[in-house]
Structures are given as structure tokens and as C-alpha cells.
């Protein structure tokens, strides 16, 4: 009973009208009234608002949940937060993240927050689908998706972002630089 075969197509809306193929009347064959009607419509558009956003000068605000380019975070003292646990790489559905872990040597406490750190951290932006799972997976709040759109590049190699490309600037060094 459930599989009733439909013989005629049901109308989806009530807006459908049959095509009128009756021959044109004399008034219609003159074309001119229709042309003036058309011109009135098109010329009326002179005063309409333009739909264009003049992009480089004028930018539309992003949605609050926008997920852009990745950043690797530092803590307040400028130490890298990432411990190379690999959870982001595991969470990544596109397998865009690669990393190599290394052990912190004595004297590097001001560089890395934990005893283990990422010696190599790469995100292949051509693979990345900007889902934000890495951000959710990170237990150390190290990887974040910023509000920057990924810039274009001339080569494929340019899309593989190294740790240097991803790390945010050192807060204290930046302050010194500003002074």
C-alpha cells in the first residue's frame, strides 16, 4: 500500500501556468509598448542600490563561528604551548597535519612550556578543510583557527605551512619591537 506508483506528476507549487501560445495581437506585434515597458524597468535600476561589495576596500564581517587560517598559540611568557601530542593530527579528517616531537633540553624552558615540544609542525593547507576539529582536539589550547582567509600562492609548496608560518608572534619580543 505504501508504494503507490504515481502516474502523473504532482504539482509542487500552485504557481505553474500553462504556456500561452496564442498568436500575438496587433498591439503586441508592434513591439514598441513592450520595449518601452522594458526600458522603464531597466532605466529604473539606475536608482536602485548596488549589490556589489567593493572587496579590498570594503569587507563584509565574518560570521562569529568563521574558521580561517590556523595559528599556533604561545602562553603569556611567549612559550610555545604545543607538546606534540598528536591529537590534532589524529582528529584531522583530511590528514593535513604532520608533526615530529622532540624533548626539551635544559635551558630551553623559556621556549617551550612542557618537556616535550613539536620540532616540526606542518599543516598542508591544500588538504585542510577548515573543520576546526584540531582546535577542539587540542588539550593544551595550542592550535586555533583565526579569522584570516588563506592567502593564494604560486606553488604547491607554499601551501604547506611550517611551524614558523603558524606560530603567533612572541608577546614580549613584540613589545620590545614596538618600543
Strand (E) or helix (H) holding 134: helix 133-137
For 112, residues 6+ apart whose C-beta sits below 8 A from its C-beta are 79, 80, 104
* Residue 71, φ and ψ in degrees, nearest 5: -130, 150
Q: Give whichever of 4 and 45 is closer to other proteins, judged by the CB atom.
A: 45
Q: Give whichever of 20 and 57 is closer to other proteins, judged by the CB atom.
A: 57
As measured in angstroms, the least distance from the Cβ of 49 to other proteins is 7
Residue 72 and residue 48: Cα distance in Å, rounded?
46
Q: Give whichever of 19 and 46 is closer to other proteins, judged by the CB atom.
A: 46
Which DSSP symbol is given to 116?
A: E
* Residue 86, φ and ψ in degrees, nearest 5: 85, 5
* Coil, helix or strand at residue 53: coil
Q: Which residues bind other proteins (CB under 8 A)?
A: 29, 35, 38-39, 41-43, 45-46, 48-52, 54
Q: Give whichever of 42 and 178 is closer to other proteins, judged by the CB atom.
A: 42
As measured in angstroms, the least distance from the Cβ of 42 to other proteins is 4
As measured in angstroms, the least distance from the Cβ of 41 to other proteins is 8
As measured in angstroms, the least distance from the Cβ of 59 to other proteins is 16
As measured in angstroms, the least distance from the Cβ of 25 to other proteins is 15
Q: By the 8 A CB rule, do 72 and 143 touch?
A: yes
Tell me the CA distances in angstroms from 83 to 3, 24, 77, 175, one per residue in order: 58, 78, 16, 25
Cell 515597458, residue? 37
Q: Give whichever of 57 and 76 is closer to other proteins, judged by the CB atom.
A: 57
Amino acid at each position: 500500500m505504501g508504494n503507490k506508483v504515481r502516474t502523473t506528476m504532482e504539482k509542487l507549487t500552485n504557481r505553474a501556468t500553462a504556456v500561452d501560445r496564442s498568436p500575438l495581437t496587433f498591439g503586441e506585434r508592434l513591439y514598441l509598448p513592450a520595449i518601452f515597458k522594458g526600458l522603464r524597468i531597466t532605466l529604473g535600476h539606475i536608482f536602485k542600490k548596488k549589490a556589489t561589495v567593493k572587496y579590498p576596500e570594503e569587507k563584509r564581517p565574518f560570521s562569529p563561528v568563521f574558521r580561517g587560517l590556523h595559528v599556533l598559540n604561545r602562553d603569556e611568557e611567549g612559550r610555545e604551548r604545543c607538546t606534540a601530542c598528536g591529537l590534532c593530527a589524529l582528529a584531522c579528517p583530511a590528514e593535513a597535519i604532520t608533526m615530529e616531537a622532540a624533548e626539551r633540553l635544559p635551558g630551553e624552558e623559556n621556549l617551550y612550556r612542557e618537556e616535550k615540544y613539536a620540532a616540526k609542525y606542518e599543516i598542508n593547507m591544500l588538504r585542510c578543510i577548515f573543520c576546526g576539529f584540531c582546535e577542539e582536539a587540542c588539550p593544551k589550547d595550542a592550535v586555533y583557527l583565526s579569522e584570516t582567509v588563506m592567502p593564494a600562492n604560486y606553488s604547491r609548496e607554499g601551501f604547506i605551512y611550517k611551524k614558523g608560518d603558524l606560530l603567533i608572534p612572541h608577546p614580549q619580543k613584540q613589545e620590545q619591537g614596538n618600543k
